[in-house]
Each structure stands twice: as C-alpha cells, then as structure tokens.
C-alpha cells in the first residue's frame, strides 16, 4: 500500500444498503436524502436499484415514474457528495428501470439495458430497455453504472472500462434464489471477474429486507481490481464506507495494460456478424 496517496487520489464512497417501502416514493427519497445529508465527508453515495419505488412495481395500482428533473431527485445533489440511486424513470409514454447520478450540477441517467423477464422476474412488462452505456466523471474518477442484470452481460463491464471507467457501480435488487443456483456465489464470481478483468474498482449495492414474499440478501461490497474484497455488509439494512485508491489503480493499469488489448474493431465486426444472423432469422 502506498503511503504518499493524497486525498485527491482517493474516491471516498458510502454504500447505503436500504430497505425501501414499496410505492412510498416520497418517503423512500426523503429517507435517502436524510442519509445523504449525513454523508458530507464522502465523494459518492450509492443506494440500490429502484431505491425510490421498491422492486415489485407490478403490485402497485398506479405506477408513476419520475422525471429526472423532479425535485425529489435533484435535492439529493445538494449535500456535497454525488449520489447514485435507482428509480422508475418516466420518459413520455415509457417507463425505465434507471439509475440517477445526481450532483449539484444536475441529474444524469443510466437506463437498465437488460430488464429481466424470466423465472420470477417480469420487468419487461413494465420497463423499456435503455440503449446506451454512459461513463461520467465524479470527483476526479471515471465511473459507469450497471443496473443489476446488466452486470451479468459480459460485454458491458468491458465496454465501460474501454470508455474510461475506473469504478463500476453495480446497483441491484437480488433475491434469495430458489432456482438451485446460489445468487450469493454467482454474484461473488461476477463481481470478482468484473474487477479483475477490467482492472476496476467495483462498488456493488444490493437492497435488504422482504417484499411481496421475497427476501433480498444484501451483501453489498467493494471489490479491489486485484479481487480483494475491501469491505462487505451482511443481510440487514446498513452502510459501508470505503476509500478507493485511484492512483494505485492507474499505476496497476500502467504496469499491466490489459485494456490496451482491446481489439474493439474485432469485437465490432463479430458483433455485427452475429447481429446480421439474428436479423436474418
């Protein structure tokens, strides 16, 4: 560990593992706002997927999304740190499962690219997919946001890193699995692989609590590019503070330049070839 790291080389992160109340948008965001107000010593605060609305939105009699410019979201940026939080986004006639990146300068949005519609998940009934993976700068660090199932798509962490992301923020609503596959183990492998393969810090924030008969297992954590878990939470509502050494990450990428072997031209050609086959049926 380097001893000459300055505060400018660090991204101070707080993970908020919350348990939102289904449909209580005003209350959920008020509680989040209060938590952010107590995080003035942080650069970035992260809350789970759909932290504003709860997950099982199909149970709501009247599902209404938020415009990204809504004051309920915008006020989160008034306390100092940048905030990433999941919400239901309203865009014209469409709804999206989105993550807002809120700063004093405004609200930027990452829409979920792969809404889940299989087994017990029915997101495709309510949400339209996004069509762009964004990368933003926060407190001197480049970060991208992956919304739950997006982290299960192998190209996306790689594309984020190729766009310059140094921190992959993964917001999730992952339940205890009854499919015979351990969600805990699967997520552990996915997050370790994303961190090591892209030489990035991974900030994973899952929700806690029970909703509509299903349990969310929490387990929020921060993973170092080496694969070391720098800190993790249990299943209950809680918070975790962590400091990410950006200088160390950049030095690692210089010593072992995995990302220089991008061959994006090859990936683009092969992707287009497969897309053409798919279009042809």
The pLDDT score that the predictor gives to residue 5 is 53
Percentage with pLDDT > 70 across the chain? 97
Domain map (residue ranges) of the chain:
9-280
Q: How far apart are CA 193 and CA 223, in angstroms?
A: 10
Q: How far apart are CA 11 and CA 82, in angstroms?
A: 11
CB-count burial class (<10 Å; 0-12, 13-18, 19+) for 275: exposed
Q: Give per-residue pLDDT as tens, 41-56.
A: 999 999 999 999 999 9
Give Cβ neighbours of residue 157 (< 8 Å, ≥ 6 apart).
146, 151, 168, 194, 197, 198, 200
Q: How far apart are CA 55 and CA 171, in angstroms?
A: 12
| Cβ(70)–Cβ(100) below 8 Å | no
Q: How far apart are CA 200 and CA 143, in angstroms?
A: 9
Question: And the tokens for 148?
Answer: 């739950």
Q: Of 118, 96, 100, 97, whose CA–CA distance to 109 is shortest?
A: 100
- pTM, 2 dp: 0.95
Q: Give per-residue pLDDT as tens, 132-181.
A: 999 999 999 999 999 999 999 999 999 999 999 999 999 999 998 766 77
Give Cβ neighbours of residue 83 (< 8 Å, ≥ 6 apart).
32, 36, 44, 45, 46, 47, 76, 77, 100, 101, 102, 103
Strand residues in 79-181 grouped as ranges (E): 82-91, 94-103, 106-111, 136-138, 141-147, 167-171
Q: Of 40, 43, 11, whose CA–CA distance to 166 is shortest?
A: 11
Give Cβ neighbours of residue 274 (< 8 Å, ≥ 6 apart).
none
What is the separation of C-alpha 161 from the centre of its chain, rounded to a whole number of angstroms?
Answer: 14
- 209 Rama sector, left if φ>0, alpha if ψ -120 to 50, beta otherwise: left
The pLDDT score that the predictor gives to residue 6 is 61
Q: How far apart are CA 262 and CA 117, in angstroms?
A: 31
Q: Does 9-280 carry CATH code 3.30.470.20?
A: no
At which residue do the structure tokens 């790689």 appear?
A: 158
Residue 262 has pLDDT above 90, yes or no: no
């Amino acid at each position: 560990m380097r001893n000459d790291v300055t505060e400018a080389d660090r991204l101070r992160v707080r993970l908020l593992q919350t348990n939102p109340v289904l449909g209580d948008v005003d209350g959920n965001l008020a509680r989040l706002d209060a938590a952010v107000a107590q995080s003035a010593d942080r650069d970035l605060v992260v809350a789970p997927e759909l932290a504003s609305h709860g997950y099982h939105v199909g149970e709501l009699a009247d599902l209404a999304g938020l415009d990204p410019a809504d004051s309920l979201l915008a006020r989160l940026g008034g306390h100092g740190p940048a905030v990433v939080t999941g919400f239901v986004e309203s865009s014209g006639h469409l709804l999206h499962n989105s993550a807002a990146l809120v700063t004093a300068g405004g609200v930027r949005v990452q829409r979920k690219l792969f809404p889940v519609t299989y087994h017990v998940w029915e997101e495709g009934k309510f949400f339209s997919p996004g069509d762009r993976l964004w990368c933003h700068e926060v407190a001197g660090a480049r970060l991208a946001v992956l919304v739950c199932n997006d982290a299960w798509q192998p190209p996306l962490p790689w594309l984020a890193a190729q766009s310059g992301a140094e921190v992959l923020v993964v917001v999730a609503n992952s339940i205890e699995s009854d499919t015979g596959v351990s969600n805990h183990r699967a997520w552990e492998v996915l997050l370790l692989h994303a961190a090591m393969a892209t030489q990035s810090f991974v900030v994973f924030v899952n929700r806690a609590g029970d909703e509509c008969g299903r349990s969310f297992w929490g387990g929020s954590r921060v993973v170092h590019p080496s694969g070391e878990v720098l800190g993790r939470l249990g299943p209950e509502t809680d918070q975790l503070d962590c400091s990410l050494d950006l200088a160390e990450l950049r030095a690692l990428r210089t010593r072992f330049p995995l990302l220089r072997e991008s061959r994006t031209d090859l990936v683009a050609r092969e992707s287009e070839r497969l897309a053409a086959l798919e279009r042809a049926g």
